[in-house]
Structure 1
Amino acid sequence: MPPLTVPRPRRIVGVSLKMYYDLQSTISYVRGVLQLDGESWNANVDLFVIPDFITLMESARILEPSHVILGAQDTHWEDKGAFTGEVSPLVLYQAGARIVEIGHAERRALFGETDESVAKKAGAAARNGLIPLVCIGEKTHQSIASAAVGMAVQECKPQVTSVLDAVPDDAEVILAYEPVWAIGAAKPADPDHVVNVTRELRKLTTGRTGATTIVYGGSAGPGTYAKISEGVDGLFLGRFAHDINNLKRVIEEVGGA
C-alpha cells in the first residue's frame, strides 16, 4: 500500500515567542537558539523559531549562517495593497522568513479568523515561497475516548480541507494539531487521543505530492514526543521552550527517538 502522502525526510521542532518578549529579550533568545545549531540532533531534526515581526530581519541576520529556520507569526492573504497594519507574505519571504504560522486558536478567538481566511493566508504563503504552518484543533473535549476522537476529527476536518484546497498540491504544508482545550493546560492531551486524531487527519492528505507534516502543540514538553510519535512528525512548543535549556532537551528527545 503506498504512503498516504509524501513523508517529510526529517522531524521538526519549533517554538513561537508570541508577544511575551521585548525587543532585546527576543534578540537574546534568538542568539541562544543559534547556539543549538551544530548539535548532534541536526542529523534528524529541523528547528524553527518564530519571533515577532519587529525583530524578524535582525533574527534573519543572526540565524543566516545556521540551519535554524526562521518563521513569522501571521501574514495577510494579499501580496500588496491598502491593508494598513497588515504584513505581506512577499515581504516576509524577502525579510528571511521561510515558515509562517497561520490560524492559531488565539487569532481565531480574539481576531475572528475563520477557516476561509486561514485558507486564503495559507495560499498566499505558499505562492510566495513560504511554508504555511496551520494551527488546527477542536475546542471541546469529551470524556469518553472514542467519542472525543470522532468529535475532534469532525471539527478539524474542515480546517484541514479548506487549507489543502487553497495551496498547490506540491507545496509543503505543516499542520499543527493543537487541541484548544490543551493549550496552556497542566499536561498535554492524552497520547492515544493525539495519535488517533492525527492518523485520521493524515488520511485527508492522501495523494498530495508535497510533503504534509503534522506536529503536536498544546502543553508539549519533555517526554511528549515519544508517546505520540506514531501520529506526528514533531512538536510545536510554547512557553515551556522559552527556556533554551528546555528547548534543547526536547530537541534531543525528538532527534533521538
Structure 2
Amino acid sequence: MRTPVIAGNWKMFKTVEESREYFRTFQPLGQKEGVETVLCVPYPSLPELVEAARETDIGIGAQNMHWEEEGAFTGEVSPTMLKGLHVSHVIVGHSERRTHFAETDESVRLKTRSALDHGLTPIVCVGETLEEREKERTRDVVRNQVVQALKGLSSEEATQTILAYEPVWAIGTGKASTAEDAGEVIGFIRQTVEEQFDSRAAERVRILYGGSVKPANVDSFLDIPDIDGGLVGGASLDPETFGQLVSAASARRERP
C-alpha cells in the first residue's frame, strides 16, 4: 500500500514569525490518519518549524540543497546542515530552480543521490513547459528527467524517493492539468520507473501531482489510482486551506 503524501511548498513566502503563527493553526489540521504531511519552507523558518513539529507526525522539508557536504559554495546549504536541523524532506529540481537558477538534470541527479545518502527524502520534480506540451514532447521530456534523476540508484533507493509531476505551465497560473491528463502522464512515469528498475519499484514509488492543486479539484486527482497526493504551492500558504487538502487525502480509499 502506498501512503498518500500532501506536501506544501511555501516558495519565498512567510517570515519566521508568520511561520510560527501558521503552524499553531495548522498543527491540529495537518495530522490525519493514513496520510503523510510535509511542509517545505524557506531556510530561516526550518529550525522554528522542526522544533514546533517535533511531537507531531508532520514532516518539515527544505526547498533546495547543494549536493556537497561542505565547500566554497557561497549562499548554498548542504545536506549535512539540513540533517543537523532534523529536516526530513527536500525538494529537488523544482521547475523554478531549473528555470531561474540554471538547475540541470545532472545537478538534480547529484542532489537526489546526496539526499538519500544523508537520510533525507527527496521530492524530485519533473514536468514539461507549455511549448514542449504544444509540440507533443511531454513524454520525451518527462521520461528523460525521471531517468536522469534516478540514474545510478538501486531499485530500493528509487522507492525511497517521491516523484512529483508538475507541468510547468500549471504552476502558479491557476490552470491545473485535468485529472485524466495528469493520471496519464503519471502512469507513464510509473511505467518509466518499471523499465528503469523493476515492477516492484514502480508499484512502490509514490508519485504526486503539482500545479494549482486546491480543495475544489483535489478529489479529482486523488481519484486517479496512480496519483499518490500533491505537491502544493499557493494553496499551502493558508493553513485551513492546506488542512482541507490533507483531510481529502486522508479520506481517499486505500490503493495498491
Aligned mates of 1:133, 1:208 — CA distance in 2: 21
TM-score scaled by length of structure 1: 0.88
Q: C-alpha offsets along residues 123-148 of structure 1, whole Å, 9 cap, x if unaligned?
A: 1101000011011100026888xx84
Q: C-alpha offsets along residues 51-91 of structure 1, whole Å, 9 cap, x if unaligned?
A: 11112112111000000011001010111222221111111
1:243 aligns with 2:231: no
Matches within 5 A, 1:86-105: 86-105=76-95
Aligned mates of 1:158, 1:70 — CA distance in 2: 29
Deviation at 1:209, TM superposition (A): 5.8
Question: Do the aligned residues in 1 keep the contact of 2:7 with 2:37 (CA within 8 Å)?
Answer: yes
Show the counterpart of 2:17: 24
Question: Do the aligned residues in 1 keep the contact of 2:23 with 2:239 (CA within 8 Å)?
Answer: no
1:246 and 1:37, CA in 2 relative to 1: closer, same or farther beyond 3 A? closer
Aligned mates of 2:187, 2:41 — CA distance in 1: 30
1:136 aligns with 2:131: no
Q: Which amino acid aligns with 1:130?
A: L
Decide which moves more: 155-164 or 165-174. 165-174
1:181 and 1:216, CA in 2 relative to 1: closer, same or farther beyond 3 A? same
Aligned mates of 1:141, 1:190 — CA distance in 2: 18
Q: Which amino acid aligns with 2:38?
A: F
Decide which moves more: 114-123 or 199-208. 199-208
2:189 paired residue among 190, 201, 205: 201
Decide which moves more: 162-171 or 98-107. 162-171
Decide which moves more: 235-244 or 166-175. 166-175
2:172 paired residue among 181, 184, 187: 184
Deviation at 1:166, TM superposition (A): 4.0
Aligned mates of 2:200, 2:72 — CA distance in 1: 35
Aligned mates of 1:110, 1:156 — CA distance in 2: 19
Decide which moves more: 208-217 or 226-235. 208-217
Alignment size in residue pairs: 243
Structure 2 gaps of 5+ residues are: none
SS in structure 2 at match of 1:80: coil
Question: Do the aligned residues in 2 keep the contact of 1:122 with 1:167 (CA within 8 Å)?
Answer: no
SS in structure 1 at match of 2:208: strand
Aligned mates of 1:182, 1:189 — CA distance in 2: 7
Aligned mates of 2:133, 2:94 — CA distance in 1: 24
1:35 aligns with 2:28: yes
Aligned mates of 2:233, 2:63 — CA distance in 1: 13
Show the counterpart of 2:210: 217
Q: Which amino acid aligns with 2:57?
A: H
Deviation at 1:154, TM superposition (A): 0.9
Aligned mates of 2:45, 2:236 — CA distance in 1: 18
1:162 and 1:208, CA in 2 relative to 1: closer, same or farther beyond 3 A? farther
Deviation at 1:230, TM superposition (A): 2.3
How many percent identity over aligned positions? 30
Decide which moves more: 20-29 or 46-55. 20-29
RMSD between superposed Cα atoms in Å: 1.9
